[in-house]
Amino acid sequence: MIRPALLLALLATPATADNVTVFAAASLKNALDEVAADFMRNTGHEVTISYAGSNALAKQIIEGAPADLFISASGDWMDEVEGADLVETRQDLLGNRLVLIAHGDAQPVLIGAGTDLKGMLGGGKLAMGLVDSVPAGQYGKAALQTLGLWDEVQADVAQADNVRAALALVATGEAPYGIVYATDAAAEDDVTIVGEFPASSHPPITYPAALLTPAADDADRAFYDALSGGSADAIFERHGFTVTD
């Protein structure tokens, strides 16, 4: 999340024609860093990326933070930015899967209405993104509600500011289980995917990308176009994302 002092510094610093400022969902970090590095090598443009929960980034953009592009893990938060007349054009870029992870090695489970998730926790916490605002938390809560598991584990949920923070709680052993995206789990050696939530249990996980209205130069547009290019597609797929046709 951008700290207030950094936000003020960004507001006070005029963007250069060759610099692209991107606000992106935390779950994109590993893949998007690689996409940006490839773009910079090929074009000479600079790309600066700020990662946080999509909810926090959307609010910062609406409040005037100088982003050129926004990549959200939720269509709803992109809709908020578009509703503020800050989106020039947008595209559904990626998809993902929702999984249950455990600290270290753990036995796989079939996730469904009969899963004894409360018993699995054994008095520990279930790490999730903020369930009312962070997309991964919202998807996770929806899945648990659909499967009839939410009421029994609600009091045991440890909510984090973004999905990578939830991942870290499990990776460090502070929480025995967590709900994150499959791509997050793949980026962390100290967690194990023990089950996948049925796609029908939650809304489709979609990552829309937008070129924002303050973006006016060729570098911004070039990076926006590159996000859906063949090179970026290969990187995203290698990291476990589904590329939207």
Q: pLDDT by residue (tens digit) across 160-204?
A: 999 999 999 999 999 999 999 999 999 999 999 999 999 999 999
Residue 17: pLDDT band by 50, 70, 90 thresholds? low
Domain hosting residue 69, numbered range:
4-95+206-243
User: Does residue 174 share a domain with residue 129?
Assistant: yes
User: Does residue 136 share a domain with residue 159?
Assistant: yes
At 28, list the tokens. 């994109």
DSSP 161: S
User: Does residue 56 share a domain with residue 145?
Assistant: no
The Cα–Cα gap between 97 and 90 comes to: 22
User: Does residue 229 share a domain with residue 164?
Assistant: no
The domain spanning residue 193 has which CATH number? 3.40.190.10
Residue 18: pLDDT band by 50, 70, 90 thresholds? confident
User: Does residue 233 share a domain with residue 196?
Assistant: no
Report pLDDT digits (tens) over 57-99: 999 999 999 999 999 999 999 999 999 999 999 999 999 999 9
Alpha carbon of residue 125 to chain centroid = 21
User: Does residue 76 share a domain with residue 143?
Assistant: no
Q: How many domains does the chain have?
A: 2
User: Does residue 195 share a domain with residue 109?
Assistant: yes
User: Does residue 84 share a domain with residue 20?
Assistant: yes
- Give the helix/strand (H/E) hosting 47: strand 46-52
User: Does residue 166 share a domain with residue 123?
Assistant: yes
Q: What is the mean pLDDT of residues 133-142?
A: 97
User: Does residue 106 share a domain with residue 80?
Assistant: no
The contacts of residue 245 (CB under 8 Å, 6+ apart) are none
> Which of 170, 185, 201 is the last residue in one of the domains?
201
User: Does residue 213 share a domain with residue 152?
Assistant: no
